Structure 1
Amino acid sequence: MLSTKLIKPSSPTRSHLRTLKLSPIDQLFTYTVKPSAICYYSADSSNSSRSEDVARRNRLETSLSETLTRFYTLAGGYIKDSHSVDCNDEGVEYLEAKVEGQLSQLLSRRDEMIYQLVRLSGGESTSPVASIQIGVRIHHIVVDGFTAASFVSAWATASRVGIGKLIFRLSA
């Protein structure tokens, strides 16, 4: 494990957006996990220099912080008694690990965090661990599937080209 930390939004959530009341349907879900992101890096760094690796890791952290500003519910906490999300900018858990070997070897360890985060459906992957692999754990009570996919896409875009290049298109 390289590091474990909380990544907070780059800008504070506006006061009128601090509390998000859940719909009656969303209240039926049981909240069991805190949102988190986990990054695995290949131990084989022959394709990039140490400074490039550090720059890439810093860019992922910075872009996550910037993206959380736009997806502020993810950086808060669920309040069971009031069936709401407190958008308090607490942040998300961010884990980094460096690994060697095949992805199937990593997943076969049955580490609780890894097991909850990534579940293989069907067969096992025998691919080597890529330069970077990112997993995200988000509970449905906080966001739906579309929003979760939009968050991952926005984070990837922000990491690649900057948060200013994000375009949100809302369709009627």
Structure 2
Amino acid sequence: MSYIHTPIISSMKLHRVNTITAMKLEIQSRKLIKPSVSTPLTLRHYKISLIDEFAPTMNLPLVLFFPPSLDNNPTLIVQLEELLKKTLTNLYPLADRYMEDTHTVDCNNQGVEFIQARPDITIQELLIKKTNLHLVNELIPSKLLASDLNNAMLATQVTTFQCGGLALGVSSAHRIGDVSTMITFLNQWATLTRKDTKLGFGGIDFTSSSMFPAQGLLPLGGWEGRGIPPPQM
């Protein structure tokens, strides 16, 4: 699990320095965010590649921290939802579900889980050195995507702290992407929030299966877990 934060602690006075060992997190809402434009039928079935087949069955979690802002935007959450729709239009496989029987992602615009949460502490209290950093796991979407029956590819969580600080947690399935894919997703989402930017979106080339066709193999560790001998290469 990774987390990134800006150095906000040294510039702010902390009145509580006790060790934080627990955090009460209230889930305010859960919803599915679908792409703003439906995926064409010609792209309905995204085939994974041989490289994807070998990817371990795991999730890639990341948390980004943002300090309290003097320019508090009360519509920020709504904007993030709307811009997530546009982001998923370009990165359409992330919005759907993996089908194990066909080794494909069913690109049927089922949507990405978008969670809003609020803890009972401030962002400063969470990030001080004495805090139990395992609490950061609470800021990541709780659904274990890789083992979920729906085989979702991505989930997001926006956590708003008492002080006005914010944490953006993302968890993506390794089945169709790696850290580079996640960074591309976050960069695209962030780019859309900057209305004055002239940056374009280079996109992701979802054609790896044409170069490295899938062979129906289990992911790393999958053979032992099912009592099946590994293939002879």
Structure 2 length-normalised TM: 0.54
Which aligned pairs between 1:53-92 and structure 2 lie closer than 5 A? Answer: 53=74, 55-92=75-112
How far does the alpha carbon of each residue in 1:28-49 deviate from its partner, in whole angstroms, 9 at most, with x for none? 335466x99989898x78x455
- Calculate percent identity across the aligned residue pairs: 32
Q: Check 1:75–1:95 CA distance in 2 against 1; reply closer, same or farther (3 A cut).
A: same
Q: Check 1:7–1:169 CA distance in 2 against 1; reply closer, same or farther (3 A cut).
A: closer
Residues 1:167 and 2:201 aligned together: yes
Q: Check 1:41–1:149 CA distance in 2 against 1; reply closer, same or farther (3 A cut).
A: closer
For 2:51, the aligned partner's letter is I
Q: CA RMSD in A?
A: 3.8
Alpha-carbon distance in 1 for matches of 2:93, 2:196 = 21
How far does the alpha carbon of each residue in 1:99-153 deviate from its partner, in whole angstroms, 9 at most, with x for none? 3322245854486674979xxxxxxxxxx97622212111121223222211100
Q: 1:11 aligns with which of 24, 37, 58?
A: 37
Alpha-carbon distance in 2 for matches of 1:25, 1:153 = 24
SS of equivalent to 1:67: helix
Deviation at 1:6, TM superposition (A): 0.7
Residue number in structure 1 paired with 2:170: 136
Residues 1:22 and 2:48 aligned together: yes
SS of equivalent to 2:188: helix
Q: Check 1:48–1:163 CA distance in 2 against 1; reply closer, same or farther (3 A cut).
A: closer
**Number of equivalent positions:** 155
Q: Check 1:31–1:9 CA distance in 2 against 1; reply closer, same or farther (3 A cut).
A: farther
Larger helix proportion of the pair = 1
Consecutive unaligned residues in structure 1, runs of 5 or more: 118-127
For 1:7, the aligned partner's letter is I
Alpha-carbon distance in 1 for matches of 2:51, 2:90 = 24
Q: Check 1:107–1:91 CA distance in 2 against 1; reply closer, same or farther (3 A cut).
A: farther
Residue number in structure 2 paired with 1:152: 186
SS of equivalent to 1:168: coil
Consecutive unaligned residues in structure 2, runs of 5 or more: 1-26, 144-161, 205-233
The farther-off stretch of 59-68 and 21-30 is 21-30
For 1:68, the aligned partner's letter is L
Q: 1:103 aligns with which of 108, 126, 131?
A: 126
Structure 1 length-normalised TM: 0.71
